[in-house]
């Protein structure tokens, strides 16, 4: 089994889907104060997934309320059309879905040319091999542990072998210390260790952060401790 304890640090990253959209500025400031490493915006176009969320102007309005990096998880059919707007709104990483990109290699290169880092997301049925030929263009691979579109879904544990496969692919090309592995969906106290032990170092949590009765800061530190213990 590959050793996931690479140099990549554990990062706890909130999805703002469960946040109060009427006060997103306060919400992102509270997430920063709770100790998150960056913030993920789940961008949905109502076509690639049956849900509709944040335009670039919403993200731009939240940008001035905190200093942590933003990444946009583009669950959209037209990432090439949208990329520039989300980068100019303040996102330093764009995550595109392999399933939505006719020319994934070109899409990742365009994101890099626009000054952001590119990442590729794999929905549950998409094999790890879909990113084999773009590992030199990305700084992260996102292995979805739910089907994209909604928060609050159950973690899919059968994705853990895919996480290990991506880890092994990165090791095979000498990129294991440079390319993050992110997981997204159903991550909480009972599931984070399995994902981290498999190789994930960037862990997205939405529901688990907001439902913690001891608050955001406790949720972030508890998840971080569990992930670090699993990768030790
Ligand atoms: C799915 C979304 C969710 C969200 C996290 O498209 O990407 O996975 O970020 O939701 P929770 O943590 O509530 O499963």
Q: Whose CA is nearest to atom 10 of ligand 1?
A: 151
Q: What pLDDT was estimated at residue 7?
A: 80
Given a cut of 60, whether residue 4 has pLDDT beyond it is no
Given a cut of 50, whether residue 88 has pLDDT beyond it is yes
DSSP string for residues in the chain? ------SPPPEEEEB-TTS-GGGHHHHHHHHHHTT-S-EEEEEEBSSSSS-B---HHHHHHHHTT--S-EEEEEESS-HHHHHHHHHHTTEEEEEEEGGG-TTHHHHHHHHHHTTSEEEEEE-TTS-GGGGGGGTTTEEEEEEESS-TT-SSPPP-GGGHHHHHHHHHHHHHTT-TTTSEEEEESS-STTTHHHHHHHT--EEEESHHHHT-TT-HHHHHHHHHHHHHHHH-
Query: Is residue 80 annotated as a catalytic residue, yes or no?
Result: no
Options 20, 113, 184, 222, the catalytic residue = 184
Q: Is the CB of 61 under 6 A from ligand 1?
A: no
Q: Is the CB of 44 under 6 A from ligand 1?
A: no
First to last CA, the chain: 14
Which domains are seen in the chain, by residue range?
Answer: 4-231 (3.20.20.70)
Minimum-distance ligand 1 atom for the alpha carbon of 209: 12
Q: How far is CA 38 from the centre of its chain?
A: 10
| 15 Cα to the center of ligand 1, angstroms | 6
Query: Is residue 212 annotated as a catalytic residue, yes or no?
Result: no
Q: Is the CB of 206 under 6 A from ligand 1?
A: yes
Strands 202-205 and 117-122: unpaired
State the average pLDDT for the chain: 96
What phi-psi label fits residue 41: left (phi over 0), alpha (psi between -120 and 50 degrees) or beta? beta
Given a cut of 70, whether residue 109 has pLDDT beyond it is yes
Mutate to test the pocket of ligand 1, among 14, 42, 191, 216 (most ligand atoms within 8 A of CB): 42
What is the rounded average pLDDT of the residues 103-113?
98
CA distance 214 to 97: 34
Query: Confidence class of residue 6 from pLDDT cuts 50, 70 and 90?
Result: low
CA atoms within a 13 Å half-sphere pointing along the CA-CB vector of 109: 6
Q: Is the CB of 153 under 6 A from ligand 1?
A: yes
Given a cut of 80, whether residue 131 has pLDDT beyond it is yes
| 102 Cα to the center of ligand 1, angstroms | 25
What is the rounded average pLDDT of the residues 87-110?
98
Given a cut of 50, whether residue 10 has pLDDT beyond it is yes
Are 18 and 207 contacting, i.e. CB atoms less than 8 angstroms apart? yes
Cβ contacts of 82 within 8 Å, gap of 6 or more: 43, 56, 74, 76
| 84 Cα to the center of ligand 1, angstroms | 24
Options 20, 37, 42, 178, the catalytic residue = 42
In the numeric block, which tokens belong to residue 210? 């907001």
Would the pTM count as exceeding 0.85? yes
CA distance 145 to 148: 9
Query: Confidence class of residue 173 from pLDDT cuts 50, 70 and 90?
Result: very high
Q: Is the CB of 188 under 6 A from ligand 1?
A: no
Q: What pLDDT was estimated at residue 13?
A: 98
In the sheet with 70-75, reading across from the earlier edge strand, the strands are: 11-14, 202-205, 180-184, 138-144, 117-122, 91-97, 70-75, 39-44
């Amino acid at each position: 089994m590959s050793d996931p304890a690479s140099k990549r640090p554990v990062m706890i990253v909130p999805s703002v889907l469960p946040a109060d959209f009427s006060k997103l500025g306060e919400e992102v400031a509270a997430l920063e104060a709770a100790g998150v490493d960056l913030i993920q915006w789940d961008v949905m176009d109502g076509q690639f997934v049956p849900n509709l969320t944040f335009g670039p102007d919403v993200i731009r309005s939240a940008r001035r309320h905190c200093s942590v990096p933003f990444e946009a998880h583009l669950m959209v059919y037209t990432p090439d059309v949208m990329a520039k707007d989300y980068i100019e709104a303040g996102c330093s990483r764009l995550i595109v879905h392999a399933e939505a990109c006719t020319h994934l290699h070109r899409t990742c290169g365009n994101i890099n040319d626009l000054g952001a880092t590119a990442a590729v997301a794999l929905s549950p049925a998409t094999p790890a091999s879909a990113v084999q030929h773009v590992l030199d263009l990305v700084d992260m691979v996102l292995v979805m542990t739910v089907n994209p579109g909604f928060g609050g879904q159950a973690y899919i544990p059968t994705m853990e072998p895919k996480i290990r496969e991506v880890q092994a692919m990165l090791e095979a090309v000498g990129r294991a210390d440079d390319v993050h592995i992110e997981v997204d969906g159903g991550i909480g106290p009972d599931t984070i260790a399995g994902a981290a032990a498999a190789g994930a170092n960037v862990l997205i949590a939405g529901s688990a952060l907001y439902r913690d009765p001891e608050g955001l800061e406790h949720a972030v530190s508890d998840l971080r401790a569990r992930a670090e213990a699993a990768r030790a």
